[in-house]
Chain A
Amino acid sequence: MGQAMNPAVLQAKLWYAQRISAMVLGICVAIHLGIIFYAIRGGLTAQEILGRTQGNLAFAIFYELFVIACFVHAPIGIANILQETFPSSGIAKPIASVLGLLILILGSAAVFGVYSAGSL
């Protein structure tokens, strides 16, 4: 460590991270869809949702994992697209970083929200 990483090697590592997070996302999305199908039987109410999620640690861990996978996956892809579309603008890294932080903060806040249901 200490010396700057070869940018090409960094790209390769990011590609790897994006691949692994895509695998996690694939599973998460499938489970999430399953939950949606289950949840919408007979209408959808906030009470019903909170009844399932409030204090349910398994739910919270699963959705936090989902958020972290998005946090890893989406900014890498957005940075690649921006870098290719606007090669010399230098906007790829800042926009992707902001997007990553937003996903992490807002996503985690949502997970915490349905877990605690405002009781904290």
Chain B
Amino acid sequence: MRPYNRDMANTDLKVRVWRGAQEGEFVQYLVPRNPNQTVLDVVTYVQRKLDPTLSYRFACRVGMCGSCAMTVNGVARWTCRTHVSQILQGDTLEIAPLNNLPVIKDLATDMREFFNKWKGAVGFFKGDKTRHDDFAKVPPESEERQLANAGIECIGCGVCYASCEVVESRPNYLGPAALNRAWTLTNDVRDVQQLERMRAVAGDAGCHACHSQGSCTEACPKAIAPTASIAGLKKLVARAAVRGSKWGKL
């Protein structure tokens, strides 16, 4: 890696940013190079100093909220935690909106379909206890809890969805994020929608369409393995369809 030096501050980054909606073009901006600069810093500089009409999305800036994901040099990334120095080749950055989602304007995509698919995969919790019941006791070392833990840190950034080849070729596919969420809930012993969820994630629009190529797992900024979650769903759901499950037969 090149050490930072005085020259670096003088070398402007050539940043090509997508402008427009579904139709549009890359526009080049010159952005000063700073030590420890993130890609989100670069985009913010463009908007604050060069062109206030640039649209993009961010909130927390610390990798918690999942709103700043973009395609940087062809790869989907969380821009707030991606240092320019980690990915820069030469002096050019190309920043585009996420793939597989409709573009609203510039770098902001319409994520409604992405989140609707979470709903479609029954990716939400429903219990049957009330405030008058005792707390549910889930032993931290239990198998279910461990399996849920592996996928629970998803921040919903859409990086996996934008990186998935199956989503690209099969628009009704639920996608890695929604299926990963379904898998964590499948392992939530308090949840009461297990049969409904298994039906929702079965088949060609669901887990059985996954090619196990692993692009989602490679791209996930939180180091989650949706491929493993989907493999878990495939096995569980197919077994439930043929032999039945502890919640009944599909």
Given known A-B contacts A15-B208, A16-B242, A9 and B170 have beta carbons under 8 A apart: no
In the bound complex, what is the Cα–Cα distance between A105 and B163 (angstroms)?
43
Q: Least Cβ distance of A73 to chain B in Å?
A: 15
Please state if A9 and B169 are interface contacts (CB–CB under 8 Å): no
Q: Least Cβ distance of A58 to chain B in Å?
A: 30
Chain A: interface residue total (CB-CB under 8 A): 14
Q: Kindly name the residue among B169, B204, B208, B240 whose own CB sees the greatest number of chain A CB atoms within 10 A.
A: B204
CB of A19 within 8 Å of the partner chain: yes
Please state if A11 and B169 are interface contacts (CB–CB under 8 Å): no
Contact of A16 among B203, B205, B239 (CB under 8 A): B239
Contact of A8 among B170, B205, B239, B242 (CB under 8 A): B205
Q: Least Cβ distance of A88 to chain B in Å?
A: 12
CB of B199 within 8 Å of the partner chain: yes
Q: Which B residues between 177 and 236 are near A, CB-CB below 8 angstroms?
A: 199, 202-206, 208-209, 234
Q: Which A residues between 52 and 106 are near B, CB-CB below 8 angstroms?
A: 83-84, 87
Q: Is the interface of B mostly helix, strand, loop or mixed?
A: helix
Contact of B238 among A6, A13, A84, A87 (CB under 8 A): A13
CB of B250 within 8 Å of the partner chain: yes
Q: Least Cβ distance of B175 to chain A in Å?
A: 15
Bin the interface of chain B by size: 10 to 19
Please state if B208 and A9 are interface contacts (CB–CB under 8 Å): no
Q: Least Cβ distance of A75 to chain B in Å?
A: 16
Please state if A83 and B204 are interface contacts (CB–CB under 8 Å): yes
Please state if B204 and A9 are interface contacts (CB–CB under 8 Å): no
CB of B237 within 8 Å of the partner chain: yes
CB of A23 within 8 Å of the partner chain: no
Q: Least Cβ distance of B234 to chain A in Å?
A: 6
User: Which residues of chain A come closer than 8 Å to B234, judged between CB atoms?
Assistant: 15
26 A-B residue pairs with Cβ-Cβ distance under 8 Å, sorted by A, are A6-B199, A6-B202, A6-B250, A7-B203, A7-B204, A8-B202, A9-B199, A9-B202, A9-B203, A9-B241, A9-B250, A10-B203, A11-B202, A11-B203, A12-B202, A12-B203, A12-B208, A12-B238, A12-B240, A12-B241, A12-B250, A13-B242, A15-B208, A83-B204, A84-B209, A87-B170
Chain A residues near B (Cβ < 8 Å): 6-13, 15-16, 19, 83-84, 87
Chain B residues near A (Cβ < 8 Å): 169-170, 199, 202-206, 208-209, 234, 237-242, 250
Going nearest first, the 5 A-B pairs with the smallest beta carbon separation are: A8-B203, A11-B203, A12-B241, A16-B238, A8-B202
